[in-house]
Amino acid sequence: MAHIVIIGAGLGGMPMAYEMQEQLRQGDRLTVVGSGPNFHFVPSNPWVAVRWRKREEIEFPAATYLGKKGIAFNGSGAKRVHPEKNQVELGDGAVLDYDYLVIATGPKLAFDEIEGFGPEGHTQSVCHVDHAERAALAWDAFVKEPGPIVVGAVQGASCFGPAYEFAFIMETDLRRRKLRDRVPMTFVTSEPYIGHLGLGGVGDSKSMLESAMRDKHIKWICNAKVTRIEAGTMHVTEHDEEGKPKKEHALPFRYSMMLPAFKGIDAVFGIEGLPTRAGSS
């Protein structure tokens, strides 16, 4: 009889657990390993960041719901996967033996690739609910003393949709607060054009998003590489279509949210044959 282990109690891991539970044979066991006790619904993070939602409205305790289905849960996180031994080392020191392993951890956020980048630096993030809560505190301070916003996605990012979404959310929130005229907004992206989305565009996304951004007075810089971020200034090199540097920008901001590149989580990074070159599973 088999022990199936799923690492990650997020948008991939939780449905996987429910689906897998239906496939179990008599005597099979299923364990989900999360990092922390809760499932949280990542796509609602941007709303937490402007206080349109509270944290408790977008998360719930994973063990309670998995337990109802007879699925075991450990929230101490996977520290390292040892595929040669079919084992996962956990954050609480325990070791789980598995017959089948599902890796559904989402990415490691590569803030460390750019000086001054991320919640430990000078920009906000909506990739995790913890970040979104911090971003909400920064938003509270920002709306008391508004100024320029820089929003977008840095080089190496593969998920661009939330950057556009958050730009329009902030724009709407500022209009509701009657502050929009005091906030110049610039969208900075490594995409070759607005609406590329890392996918070469989706339908008419180029013209639709360009039009919406013009309509909302959001300027943009594409083919951008963020080279350094200091308090209140983002340094950006804009490239031409051949990838050659075209223009240097020093963009002032009072609030910034930039999506990072994604890497593989530490528990699987560097394992021969398992992750891709970027270390993602």
Ligand X SMILES: Cc1cc2nc3c(=O)[nH]c(=O)nc-3n(C[C@H](O)[C@H](O)[C@H](O)COP(=O)(O)OP(=O)(O)OC[C@H]3O[C@@H](n4cnc5c(N)ncnc54)[C@H](O)[C@@H]3O)c2cc1C
Please select the residue that binds ligand X; options are 6, 66, 78, 226, rule is CB under 6 A.
Answer: 78
Tell whether residue 275 is a contact of ligand X (CB under 6 A). Answer: no
Interface stretch with ligand X, choices 7-15, 50-58, 144-152, 180-188 (CB under 6 A) = 7-15
169 lies in the site for ligand X, by CB under 6 A: no
Nearer to ligand X, 47 or 253 (CB): 47
Kindly state whether residue 104 participates in binding ligand X, applying the rule CB under 6 A. yes
Give least dist CB 138 to ligand X, A.
Answer: 16
- For position 264 contacting ligand X by CB under 6 A, the verdict is no
Q: Is 13 in the site for ligand X (CB under 6 A)?
A: yes
Least distance CB 27 / ligand X (angstroms) = 25
* Piece of the chain touching ligand X by CB under 6 A; list 28-36, 170-178, 198-206, 239-247: 28-36
Q: Tell me the DSSP string of the chain.
A: --EEEEE--STTHHHHHHHHHHHPPTT-EEEEE-BSSEEE-GGGHHHHHTTSS-GGGSEEEHHHHHHHTT-EEE-B-EEEEEGGGTEEEETTS-EEE-SEEEE---PEE-GGGSBT-STTTT-B--SSHHHHHHHHHHHHHHHHS---EEEEE-TT----HHHHHHHHHHHHHHHHTT-GGG--EEEEESSSSTT-TTTT--TTHHHHHHHHHHHTTEEEE-SEEEEEEETTEEEEEEE-TTS-EEEEEEEE-SEEEEEPPEE--TTTTT-TTSS-TT---
Residues that bind ligand X (CB under 6 A): 7-13, 33-35, 42-43, 45-46, 77-78, 104-106, 126-127, 159, 162, 265, 267
